[in-house]
Structure 1
Amino acid sequence: MPNDIDVQLRSTAELVEVNLGYGDQVHRPRRLDHLSGFPSRSAALAAAGELEGLGYEIDGLRRRWLTVWLAFGKEIPVDHESAAAFTREVVGVVDRHGGTYDGWSGFLVTEDA
């Protein structure tokens, strides 16, 4: 079942707003970690190959019950425009390979960082 891109984009926008509330300098790049689940190792590996081609680093694959989890990341800003763009990009890849996008996370970058 494809991911609901509208829900993902709303979640991303909400997270950017939360980060801004903490004083995050969202225009500054930082490492973001992403997680996606796939029904098979071959689907996860195919997605990993596509993500690598887009500049993402693959951190690992791990099977848990009936899901193969793919962890990956990239250094990127998290302003609204950039965050919406990487959300569309990642969800597109995950959807093409039958996966479920679990979301992204990263550290805040503040004045004193």
Structure 2
Amino acid sequence: MSAAPPDMSVGGDHDRWILLERDSVEDFPLMVRVRENSNIRQFVEANALTAICFWAERDELVDDFGFPRDLSALQAKEDAAIAQLTAAGVAAFHTASVTGEGQRVVYFGHASDIALPFDMGALSMPGFEVRLLSVENREAYLGLVTPTQLDLKLNGDQGVIANLEKHGDLGAAPRKTDFWFYGERERLQGLASELEGLGYMLDHWIEEPIGIVLTKVTAVDFGAFREISPELLAAANRHGVEYDGWETFVLKQGSPEPELTSAAKPRSFLSKLFGAKKN
């Protein structure tokens, strides 16, 4: 079966989007939603990048963590901006959206020889200042939207956990969970020795390709994997082996038999980008 063609629409509804967590220069949390499309990434590298910035003008519009309270209204404005570009038929692509520091910033890559034909009046929102800005600091942008190894692993964890929850799993309930690693045998032995001190026990070896399965009794909600995944990735990198994923069973209330489910193989930046807000 041939692979589906890349989604080259403005909005990327059929593309994969991933969520990243970042911190601003003032240590406020940022939620970054990024489009995973190598064709569009290459297009943006060679062309222009523009952002629509929605700045909250009053403190009561923002929660204690710096996130705008009415996110659904901002998402509606984002959808309206995408619809405007789609109707105009210009070569432009939504690449990312960042929320935090009292802002929602929506990025569009586009051909360098065009100005994006937004109707800014239609994108206005009570209580928010709306600006259209050119993104000149590509290094800061890339640092914001480029997934790290840990980002990708945590995103895979979230997908598996969501699948477990869909089957009625009690994610906070501890149960036997297996973790898979591959590499040279001596390196894997060193890894197993280190992780034994953290409660991971040898379950079995894999012969082809050479690998090891470690096991631990743990919860499998996302709170648990915020600690587990960084821990295992760092250990795997120290020993020069690959951490390949995890698997466990669905644990339901009163479930008589475990159902095996594999997670195996889930294989202020803003101020740097635009400078301080000017009144």
- TM norm structure 2: 0.37
State the match for 1:23 in structure 2: 168
Higher relative contact order (CA 8 A, sep 6+): 1
State the match for 1:94 in structure 2: 236
CA contact (8 A) 1:44 1:68 kept: no
Tell me the CA shift for residue 43 of structure 1. Answer: 0.5
Is residue 148 of structure 2 the alignment partner of residue 6 of structure 1? no
Provide closer, same or farther for how the CA distance between residues 62 and 19 of structure 1 changes in structure 2, counting only shifts above 3 A.
closer
Quote the Cα distance in structure 1 between the aligned partners of 2:168 and 2:226: 20
**Based on CA coordinates, which of the two structures has the bigger radius of gyration?**
2
Counterparts of 1:1-80 in structure 2, within 5 Å, are: 4-38=149-183, 40-64=184-208, 67-80=209-222
Tell me the CA shift for residue 84 of structure 1. Answer: 2.2
Percent of aligned pairs with the same amino acid: 27
Tell me the CA shift for residue 59 of structure 1. Answer: 1.5
Task: State the secondary structure of the residue aligned to 2:190.
Answer: helix
Tell me the CA shift for residue 92 of structure 1. Answer: 1.2
Task: State the secondary structure of the residue aligned to 2:168.
Answer: coil
CA contact (8 A) 1:23 1:110 kept: yes
Deviations 1:40-85 (A, max 9, x none): 2211110010111110011233332xx5201111000011110221
Tell me the CA shift for residue 87 of structure 1. Answer: 1.2
Quote the Cα distance in structure 1 between the aligned partners of 2:234 and 2:210: 18
CA contact (8 A) 1:27 1:79 kept: yes
Q: Alignment RMSD, CA only?
A: 1.4
State the match for 1:108 in structure 2: 250
- TM norm structure 1: 0.88
Quote the Cα distance in structure 2 between the aligned partners of 1:63 and 1:5: 27
Quote the Cα distance in structure 2 between the aligned partners of 1:77 and 1:62: 25
Tell me, which stretches of 5 or more residues in structure 1 are unaligned?
none
Quote the Cα distance in structure 2 between the aligned partners of 1:107 and 1:63: 24
Give the number of the structure whose residues are more often helix, by fraction.
Answer: 1
State the match for 2:18 in structure 1: none
